[in-house]
């Protein structure tokens, strides 16, 4: 019988492959700036989910910050000041769930995560990983709260280090929530001031 970690890693890989296929099929729609005005909360969730996954880095760079920024003002006619709260929360949830398959791949096998992170500069990556190991949940929060190029390899590494999955998800969600609420409120207030 296969080890639980291997099954988890395999499921993460299958979800990532499925996301890659979906992103390839709908690449033009997902990345098209002209479509942003037509996004609803479901669209923001879907774009956040896909763009936060391993798919966006390895196959198709799909930005989700732009819909979060622009829709906060666009949907304010419907929801007022709650628009950035709804959009920030939905995008943070989508991004956190999108990062889950990456964590699962790392959790499932250290050799898989080492191969996927081999593109990162080894010395910088090791230093950041040591910092994450020392600071635990706060580091997970900070890695998610601040846009950075090391998020994908660190998520894989945290899985490979067997960081507690529930803690990882809670602090990733909190970090993404902080970041996306800031972006949504900047969009809301900046676009209100301009328009």
Q: What is the pTM of this model?
A: 0.78
The alpha-carbon radius of gyration of the chain (Å, integer) is: 17
For residue 24, the model assigns a pLDDT of 64
For residue 33, the model assigns a pLDDT of 46
Q: 3-state secondary structure string, 38-91?
A: HCCHHHHHHHHHHHHCHHHHHCCCCCCHHHHHHHHHHCHHHHCCHHHHHHHHHH
For residue 1, the model assigns a pLDDT of 40
How far apart are alpha carbons 158 and 26 in whole angstroms? 30
Provide the token pair at 148: 């950075």
Q: How much is the mean pLDDT over the chain? A: 77
Question: If we measure between CA atoms, which residue out of 190, 175, 186, 103 comes closest to residue 145?
Answer: 175
Q: CA angle 101-20-168, nearest 5°?
A: 15
Note whether 12 and 102 are within 8 A (CB): yes
Please report, in tens digits, the pLDDT of each residue of the chain (195 residues total): 457 666 666 676 677 667 666 666 766 665 554 455 566 788 788 788 877 877 655 555 566 777 888 888 778 778 888 999 999 999 999 999 988 888 888 887 655 555 555 554 566 667 767 777 788 889 899 889 988 777 777 887 788 788 898 999 999 999 999 999 999 999 888 876 675
For residue 72, the model assigns a pLDDT of 80
Q: For 161, which DSSP code?
A: T
For residue 61, the model assigns a pLDDT of 57
């Amino acid at each position: 019988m296969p080890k639980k970690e291997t099954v988890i890693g395999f499921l993460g890989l299958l979800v990532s492959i499925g996301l890659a296929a979906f992103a390839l099929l709908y690449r033009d729609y997902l990345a098209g700036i002209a479509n942003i005005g037509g996004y609803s909360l479901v669209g923001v969730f879907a774009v956040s989910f896909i763009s936060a996954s391993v798919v966006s880095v390895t196959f198709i760079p799909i930005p989700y910050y732009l819909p979060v920024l622009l829709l906060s003002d666009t949907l304010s006619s419907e929801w007022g000041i709650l628009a950035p709260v709804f959009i920030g929360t939905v995008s943070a949830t989508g991004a956190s769930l999108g990062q889950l398959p990456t964590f699962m791949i790392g959790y499932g096998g250290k050799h898989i995560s080492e191969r996927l992170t081999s593109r990162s500069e080894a010395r910088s990556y090791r230093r950041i990983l040591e910092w994450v190991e020392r600071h635990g949940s706060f580091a997970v929060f900070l890695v998610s709260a601040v846009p950075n190029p090391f998020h994908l390899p660190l998520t894989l590494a945290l899985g490979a280090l067997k960081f507690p999955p529930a803690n990882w998800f809670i602090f990733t969600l909190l970090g993404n929530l902080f970041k996306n609420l800031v972006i949504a409120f900047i969009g809301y207030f900046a676009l209100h001031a301009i328009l």
